[in-house]
DNA sequence: ATCGCTGCAAACAATTTGCAGCCGC
DNA sequence: GCGGCTGCAAATTGTTTGCAGCGAT
């Protein structure tokens, strides 16, 4: 989908900065930090400001255009949301690629939570490791 | 277990600062951030320094005395490790209590990962919500 | 006497905010 | 034209580092 469409669909104003941010994420094969997005946007739009990037990441997140992911070492990363429903990610520690997975552990644990009287509202499940390509490279 | 014992068992030097940090965590019913630990330690030891707290959290983490937990809103929190083996946590969004759980989703997903050629090395699984007490309070 | 631990100040990194002007609708 | 969006600078927040002195072995 085209960047402009994405924005219009969310009833967001179409600005060159927003388009650039989405484009960067579309072209990226890995999950990116706010700073990395900024660095990539600045290449094509030399006077964007970092705060603009932060502000737009926020609105795009709220609208569900982006996913927020926590890296293995607690850094916050973003990617374009490609899947519709609820899902989790596997993230490659080498190339930063993220692979969506359907599996969600919550079904398997609801009973146990219920037993403890705990009412779950959110959860986090992320797997880190090496993707197929990087696994092979490391073995060599 | 007594704070001094904990440190000795890990072959760490026993210092009043370290003892105070562990004590704070022992007395706390919730998971704490570095700054919160600092705030609590300073009450009993007015001239500790924040960097001392950070440095000691690091060594205690490395020795496995502490667990590092990521809050729902991506803040890093700590608690005394109470369980021995691998485990995950349920964290109450209201009171900050953390409840360890044995269940780990990795067993259930290994096959799927294998199919995708992904080699997992680490993972993160945390559940946020309301503990029994806080659930009841909210219903009233 | 040595080496690790601490306090202090300063540096650093990541993110947020206030404000004035600009731009998309 | 209005209200949201942006750039810029400055403020915050969270964490790390260099250094000199202290303290335990």
- For the stretch A87-109, pLDDT in tens is 999 999 999 999 999 999 999 99
- Which residue lies nearest C4, CA-to-C1' measured? B13
- Residue range B102-125: average pLDDT? 95
**Residue partners of B2: CB distance under 8 A and separation at least 6:** none
- B14 and B57 in a single domain? The answer is yes
Average pLDDT for chain B: 95
**Residue partners of B46: CB distance under 8 A and separation at least 6:** none
Q: Domain of B60: which CATH number? A: 1.10.10.10
- B21 and B64 in a single domain? The answer is yes
User: Percent of chain A at pLDDT above 90?
Assistant: 94
- B94 and B54 in a single domain? The answer is no
| Model confidence at B83: pLDDT above 90 | no
- A73 and A108 in a single domain? The answer is no
Q: What is the pLDDT of residue A61?
A: 97
- A59 and A73 in a single domain? The answer is yes
Q: How far is the CA of A13 from the C1' of C24 (A)?
A: 7
Q: Does B114 touch chain A (CB under 8 A)?
A: no
- B140 pLDDT band (50/70/90 cuts)? confident
**Residue partners of B58: CB distance under 8 A and separation at least 6:** none
| Model confidence at A81: pLDDT above 90 | yes
- B49 and B71 in a single domain? The answer is yes
- A100 and A125 in a single domain? The answer is yes
Q: What is the pLDDT of residues B20-65, one digit of tens each?
A: 999 999 999 999 999 999 999 999 999 999 999 999 999 999 999 9
Domain encompassing residue A121: 84-140
| Model confidence at A84: pLDDT above 90 | no
Nearest chain A CA: its distance from B114 CA (Å): 9
- B99 pLDDT band (50/70/90 cuts)? very high
How many angstroms separate the CA atoms of A77 and A79, rounded? Answer: 7
| Model confidence at B17: pLDDT above 80 | yes
- C-alpha distances out from residue B96 to A72, A125, B30, B107, Å: 22, 19, 5, 28
The terminus-to-terminus CA distance of chain A in angstroms comes to 38
Q: What is the pLDDT of residue B38?
A: 97
- B27 and B94 in a single domain? The answer is no
Q: Does B121 touch chain A (CB under 8 A)?
A: yes
How many angstroms separate the CA atoms of B132 and B140, rounded? Answer: 13
């Amino acid at each position: 989908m085209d960047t402009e469409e994405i924005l219009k669909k969310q009833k967001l104003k179409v600005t060159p900065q927003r388009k650039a941010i989405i484009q960067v994420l579309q072209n990226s094969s890995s999950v990116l930090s706010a700073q990395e997005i900024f660095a990539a946007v600045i290449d094509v739009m030399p006077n964007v400001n970092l705060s603009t990037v932060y502000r737009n990441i926020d609105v795009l997140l709220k609208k569900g255009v982006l996913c927020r992911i926590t890296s293995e070492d607690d850094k916050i990363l973003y990617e374009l949301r490609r899947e519709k429903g609820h899902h989790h990610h596997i993230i490659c520690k080498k190339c930063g690629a993220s692979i969506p997975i359907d599996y969600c552990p919550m079904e398997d644990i609801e009973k146990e939570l219920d037993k403890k009287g705990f009412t779950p509202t959110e959860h986090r499940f992320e797997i880190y490791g090496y993707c197929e390509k990087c696994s092979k490279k490391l073995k060599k």
